[in-house]
Amino acid sequence: MAEKIWEKNVQADQRIEKFTVGRDREMDLCLAKYDVLGSMAHIRMLESVGLLQADELEVLLIVLKEIYQTIEEGTFVIEDDVEDVHSQVELLLTRKLGDVGKKIHSGRSRNDQVLVDLKLFARTELMKITGQVNYLIEALIEQSNRYKHVLLPGYTHLQIAMPSSFGLWFGAYAESLADDLQLLLSAWKITNRNPLGSAAGYGSSFPLNRQMTTDLLGFDSMNYNVVYAQMGRGKMERTVANALASVAATVSKLAFDACMYNSQNFGFIKLPDEFTTGSSIMPHKKNPDVFELTRAKCNKIQSLPQQIMLITNNLPSGYFRDLQIIKEVFIPAFDELKDCLDMTSLMMSRLQVNERILDDSKYDLIFSVETVNKLTLSGVPFRDAYKQVGLDIETGGFNPDKAIRHTHEGSIGNLCNDEILLYKNEIISQFDFEKVKQAIDQLLA
């Protein structure tokens, strides 16, 4: 049995060990390569301040790169009697290099190790999510432009209200996601700060060079105050979770619209048959299960900030084991949202639009405001025009004018899709992903 890195003469009760380790081994597999990257930056810094010899650094880097390769290949494991990824990496180094492997922990704690691992993990996942949101926005704008002249009824209180269009419908969700990118950007900026060197939350008497590890790992800056660096555990995850929840809220609403519009009672859109599922007893059924599951998964993701808040909201400063539980809800959320974004992009790009919706006379009344506005433009006071059209509707004498004359910014006739794309691109340009990629490539070179 591997000795715990914190053990001295007394071994922990196995029941205590099982309870305290929990799902850490499972969650830490997602953090493994980031733990190796953090260790590579840390030991380069240790060598620069005289806590490692150059030849020790060289062999440590060789073995760490070998471990990184096993992680990429999917063969890395955290052994059953090893607590976490940090202990496993140190154990592998010590098995291969002896006492040299024991030197890598100088000037750090598992507290700042997991902090940097989670930040590097979240940073990478935010890059992926941002890319997928960008792709979905582009797909929605493409559909908005393709179907910009196809009208459909707009609703208030789920009652037919005024003319809308597929140009507006697709474009509205594109702009909503662009706003969600603002929250992803804020989450990125808070995530992209280096906690390494804060140790257990109170710094170190070693002459650490925290700016060096900040640069090596491609962070924008460090978390300067070591107590705050530790306080950031939970805060970073909650901030990121809020951004994920905002994206999820947009996608969930879009999925609900799609389910509703796809039903026979609406008949606004149709999914390709291969994108639907059937019933075990009703041979005619073509169910929009993908959108229904997307709605449910995204609603689940929207609960994530509250889960993290309830784990952390009564904790004072310093480290507490409660924080370990955040990993179990935080880490899986990224894959769930990425799956939803992939499916939504696929479905949105392939759905078929009903181009004759408003031929049905039941939608005639949505043109009442058009008639009121036309009378107002001819000189009739608006309130009088409103009353006149209302009376015509009550007596059955209303004849709709279906000519749409919306020209102002963001309306049916002036979608501003180019402006939405410009807004989106300006936000994405602020992430500076290339700087991060170059730093990690150089660290692994």
Catalytic residue among 157, 205, 280, 378: 157
Residue 94, H or E segment: helix 85-97
Pairwise CA distance, residues 217 & 444, whole Å:
11
Catalytic residue among 221, 263, 279, 317: 279
Question: Is there a contact between 139 and 169 (Cβ–Cβ < 8 Å)?
Answer: no
Verify whether residue 157 is a known catalytic residue.
Answer: yes
Placement of tokens 């004498």 in the chain: 397
Burial of 277 (0-12, 13-18, 19+ CB in 10 A): exposed
Verify whether residue 186 is a known catalytic residue.
Answer: no
Q: Distances in Å between the alpha carbon of 376 and those of 216, 391, 400, 410, 411?
A: 66, 16, 16, 22, 19
Enter the DSSP assignment of 277: B
Measured in Å, how far apart are the chain's first and last C-alpha atoms? 35
Question: Is there a contact between 177 and 252 (Cβ–Cβ < 8 Å)?
Answer: no
Pairwise CA distance, residues 120 & 115, whole Å:
9
Residue 3 CA to its chain's centroid (Å): 38
The phi-psi region of residue 287 (left if phi > 0; otherwise alpha if psi is between -120 and 50; otherwise beta) is beta
CA angle 408, 411, 415 (to 5 degrees): 100
Residues involved in catalysis: 157, 279
